């Protein structure tokens, strides 16, 4: 990963040097000429680094770059960034001449160092390149498979056979994509179906094409013609190939497998599909891909998500590969070890094959135990084994996603990621890059998560209404560890000074075991779920040696005082003290952390009040507050004009929020949870123009019917999601709660409103509404008129509403005509719960 990191660092520095702010600084300091030299040299270095990344597997000399030049480049970049902040502070004081001299000298030295690196590029056989995502591999698949060697895919095979033989046809050739993680068995399933006797007899022509990664149309035509006819036609031009292809397919019912497709360029796919339109009715295409976006582009029907093999099927496959037939009965001890090995594979067929084949030549118990107890990344892998197969997916990632993916290995296996949490960490580490000048970091991060989900790096997606969660497959986690090399550590093993991101479990090892040899960590995540990490002095010592920290996660810590030396963490972007019930106050010096973007005090029930100078945290974008205060100070949080997300959680004594909330003009998300004594919301709430998510849950004293909050406008708001629950005074939803978003609201969640008796008449005007959940509202007796006109509504769930249930019975209920058009309607009368999520 070192080359990717260096490429990104050079790119980020270039971006900063090219910004208007840096142009002004360079003029003010009189160092513009040196700045321009630095930009030119970094551009060359960035191109060299990209070439280094693509030659990584072939050039041993590049290890020197990894160990010396790239590390030196990073050190200088980070040092210059840190010094720049100090110099700017000094400059603002009294000594601009000293600043100009010092900064000019540092840039000059950096230029000399970079020029030397650039001059040496020929020595390492490097050339300047532009970035490209095409990764040329020699991987080739074929149509044959030994049917007896395939286990556990009967149901999937039948699903595909039904698709292939279905007599229903449309205008387009039906295309079914098979989607799944690398190594799960997509190609094997396609081979199985391709060789099925009923399929052979159904089609006049069967064509198997392993698709080139750059999706070259000419090469695809050559492959299709060769598979269909055996004819080689490499010397033909595209027009000649087109004619031969049409002759080949004309009037014939064909079945084509396009295996291992990576292309997500819709224009290229449309061009190929137009060339295949000459076949007869009943022709079918199956596409295998790891990327959901490819499936979306190519498929005419919903993709088939290939599931992991069951444990029983994995064990059968493993025993078949590791032993000769019947031999396993003679080795009960090895079979027991094999059961543990199979559990490591988590249902991925290629992983089972890799480890089964690895052990087929040894019956030594120690060898088997070594495989069971070792990380997959440390085991020998051949070219077609599981990690190289997964590495291909990594190689196809654009450079800006590689470091985001590798960073995820800092968390333990089976860790449940919250999208908001992960995006904040990426943001704090400076991983988020955008070609669009005005794109917000939160939107960039969400785009990154969606892309990694699409490419099967993340799985087990679960919608949580205001956010979503997901996990990494254990094998994908092994891949992330392998590409992260020594920069990430989550296992509490021996650490090197190169570690930049560290997860340390204090519940398994005391704070005294925290490493002493960390030189420049950027992320320090201390997990303490069992409350054993009570060595405040040891944590303070680690912080004192980690002055370049950008992320400090002290979740579930138990100390009473935040270490005073935290004020020296000038680069800190992310700080969480969540679920620390002992801390009572934050030091005022925390307000000097003007780079801080996220401050999380979730569940810090002992905090008496927020720091009086909190308004100086001018970079803060995400703030979660738990406090014992009854009132919040004016000119405090309301001065944090960069805030995008604000949450009040379990502020038990809080009676009112600050009145000048309208100053938070960038606020997108506002959540008020379990503030039991909150009696009213501020008037300024209705003047938040960018608010997209609003959640109000378990605020028993809150009155939402006050006339003074009536909104003058019905439109112009931007609310997308609204959740209200546990507000017993509410009998009907007031229109002001929409904040002028009657045309934009998409998702509505209503829960635990025991006195809610009706939905308002304006409900019928929510023309963008896509989903509604109404849970545990026992007095709600009917749906309002006009619901049948909400054509965007796709999902309706009702639970714990007995009166409403009777009116929504399919076909016979009085309200059924209002909701008959909703594709997904669920009713669960057992769903009477007070869960806040």
Q: No. of H helices and E strands in the chain?
A: 25, 23
pTM: 0.80
pLDDT in tens, 37-91: 655 665 555 555 544 444 343 333 333 333 333 344 334 334 434 444 433 443 3
pLDDT in tens, 299-349: 999 999 999 999 999 999 999 999 999 999 999 999 999 999 999 898 999
Residues 304, 481, 364, CA angle at the centre, nearest 5°? 90
pLDDT tier at 167, thresholds 50, 70, 90: confident
Residue 505: the pLDDT is: 77
Give the whole-angstrom CA distance, residue 786 versus residue 726: 27
Cβ atoms of 763 and 745 within 8 Å: the answer is no
Residue 728: the pLDDT is: 93
CATH 1.10.10.10 is the classification of domain 399-482: yes
Give the whole-angstrom CA distance, residue 660 versus residue 716: 20
Higher per-residue confidence, 632 vs 527: 632
Cβ atoms of 279 and 254 within 8 Å: the answer is yes
CATH topology of domain 147-305: Rossmann fold (3.40.50)
Residue 594: the pLDDT is: 86
Token pair, residue 683, equals: 């008037």
Higher per-residue confidence, 182 vs 94: 182
- CA nearest 180: which of 301, 344, 347? 347
pLDDT in tens, 126-159: 555 444 454 545 568 888 888 888 999 999 999 9
Beta-strand pair 254-259/284-289: parallel
Give the whole-angstrom CA distance, residue 117 versus residue 256: 51
Answer yes or no: is pLDDT of 567 > 90.
Answer: no
Burial of 287 (0-12, 13-18, 19+ CB in 10 A): buried
pLDDT in tens, 519-547: 678 899 987 766 655 567 777 777 777 88
Give the whole-angstrom CA distance, residue 634 versus residue 588: 17
What's the 3-state SS for 325-361?
Answer: CCHHHHCHHHHHHHHHHHHHHCCCHHHHHHHHHHHCC
- CA nearest 699: which of 719, 671, 721? 671
Higher per-residue confidence, 232 vs 408: 408
pLDDT in tens, 700-732: 999 987 654 555 555 788 999 999 999 999 988
Structural domain spans, the chain: 1-122, 147-305, 311-396, 399-482
């Amino acid at each position: 990963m070192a080359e990717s990191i260096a490429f990104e660092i050079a790119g980020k520095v270039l971006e900063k040097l090219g910004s208007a702010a840096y142009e002004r600084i360079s003029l003010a300091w009189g160092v513009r000429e040196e700045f321009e030299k630095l930009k030119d040299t970094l551009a060359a270095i960035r191109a060299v680094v990209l070439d280094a990344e693509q030659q990584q597997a072939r050039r041993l000399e590049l290890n020197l770059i990894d160990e010396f030049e790239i590390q030196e480049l990073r050190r200088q970049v980070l040092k210059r960034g840190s010094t720049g902040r100090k110099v700017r502070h000094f400059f603002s004081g009294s000594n601009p001449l000293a600043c100009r001299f010092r900064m000019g000298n540092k840039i000059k030295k950096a230029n000399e160092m970079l020029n030397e690196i650039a001059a040496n590029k020929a020595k390492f056989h490097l050339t300047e390149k532009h970035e490209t995502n095409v990764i040329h591999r020699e991987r080739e698949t074929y149509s044959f498979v030994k049917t007896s060697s395939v286990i556990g895919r009967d149901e999937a095979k039948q699903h595909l056979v039904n698709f292939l033989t279905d007599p229903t046809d449309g205008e387009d050739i039906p295309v079914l994509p098979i989607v799944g993680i690398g190594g799960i068995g997509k190609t094997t399933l396609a081979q199985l179906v391709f060789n099925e006797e009923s399929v052979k007899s159904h089609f006049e022509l069967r064509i198997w094409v392993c698709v080139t990664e750059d999706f070259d149309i000419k090469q695809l035509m050559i492959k299709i013609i060769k598979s269909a006819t055996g004819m080689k036609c490499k010397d033909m031009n595209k027009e000649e190939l087109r004619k031969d292809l049409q002759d080949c397919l004309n009037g014939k019912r064909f079945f084509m497998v396009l295996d291992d497709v990576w292309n997500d360029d819709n224009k290229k796919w449309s061009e190929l599909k137009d060339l295949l339109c000459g076949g007869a009715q009943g022709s079918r295409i199956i596409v295998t891909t790891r990327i959901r976006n490819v499936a979306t582009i190519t498929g005419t029907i919903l993709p088939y998500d290939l599931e992991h093999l069951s444990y029983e099927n994995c064990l059968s496959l493993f025993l078949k590969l590791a032993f000769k037939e019947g031999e396993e009965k003679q080795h009960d001890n090895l079979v027991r070890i094999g059961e543990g090995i199979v559990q490591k594979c988590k249902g991925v067929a290629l992983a089972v094959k890799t480890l089964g084949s690895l052990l087929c030549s040894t019956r030594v118990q120690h060898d088997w135990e070594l495989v069971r107890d070792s990380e997959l990344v440390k085991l020998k892998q051949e070219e077609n084994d599981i990690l190289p197969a997964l590495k291909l997916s990594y190689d196809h990632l654009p450079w800006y996603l590689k470091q985001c993916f590798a960073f995820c290995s800092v968390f333990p296996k089976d860790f449940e990621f919250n999208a908001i949490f992960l995006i904040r960490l990426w943001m704090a580490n400076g991983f988020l890059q955008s070609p669009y000048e005005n794109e917000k970091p939160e939107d960039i991060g969400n785009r990154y998560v969606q892309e990694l989900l699409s490419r099967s790096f993340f799985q087990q997606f679960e919608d949580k209404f205001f956010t979503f969660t997901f996990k990494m497959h254990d094998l994908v986690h092994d891949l992330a560890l392998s590409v992260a090399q020594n920069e990430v550590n989550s296992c509490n093993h021996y650490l090197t000074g190169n570690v930049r991101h560290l997860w340390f479990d204090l519940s398994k090892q005391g704070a005294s075991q925290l490493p002493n040899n960390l030189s420049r960590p950027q992320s320090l995540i201390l997990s303490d779920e069992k409350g054993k990490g009570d060595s405040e002095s040891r944590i303070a010592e680690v912080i004192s040696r980690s002055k370049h920290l950008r992320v400090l996660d002290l979740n579930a810590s138990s100390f009473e005082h935040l270490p005073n030396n935290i004020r020296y963490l000038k680069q800190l972007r992310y700080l969480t003290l969540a679920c620390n019930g002992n801390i009572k106050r934050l030091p005022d010096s925390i307000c000097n952390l003007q780079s801080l973007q996220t401050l999380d005090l979730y569940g810090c029930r002992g905090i008496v009040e927020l720091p009086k100078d909190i308004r100086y945290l001018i970079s803060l974008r995400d703030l979660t507050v738990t406090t014992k205060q009854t009132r919040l100070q004016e000119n405090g949080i309301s001065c944090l004009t960069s805030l995008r997300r604000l949450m009040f959680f379990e502020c038990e004594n809080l009676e009112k929020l600050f009145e000048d909330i309208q100053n938070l003009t960038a606020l997108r998300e506002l959540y008020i949870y379990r503030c039991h004594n909150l009696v009213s919301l501020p008037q300024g709430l209705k003047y938040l123009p960018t608010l997209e998510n609003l959640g109000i849950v378990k605020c028993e004293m809150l009155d939402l019917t006050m006339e003074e909050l009536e909104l003058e406008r019905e439109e112009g708001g931007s609310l997308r999601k609204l959740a209200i629950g546990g507000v017993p005074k509410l009998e009907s939803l007031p229109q002001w709660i929409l904040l002028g978003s009657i045309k934009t609201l998409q998702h509505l969640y209503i829960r635990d409103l025991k006195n809610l008796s009706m939905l308002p008449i304006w409900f019928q005007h929510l023309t963008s509404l896509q989903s509604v959940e109404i849970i545990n509202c026992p007095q709600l007796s009917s749906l309002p008129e006009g619901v049948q006109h909400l054509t965007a509504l796709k999902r309706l769930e009702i639970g714990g509403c007995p009166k409403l249930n009777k009116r929504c019975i399919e076909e016979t209920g009085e309200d059924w005509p209002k909701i008959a058009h909703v594709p997904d309607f669920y009713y669960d009368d057992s769903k009477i719960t007070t869960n806040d999520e």
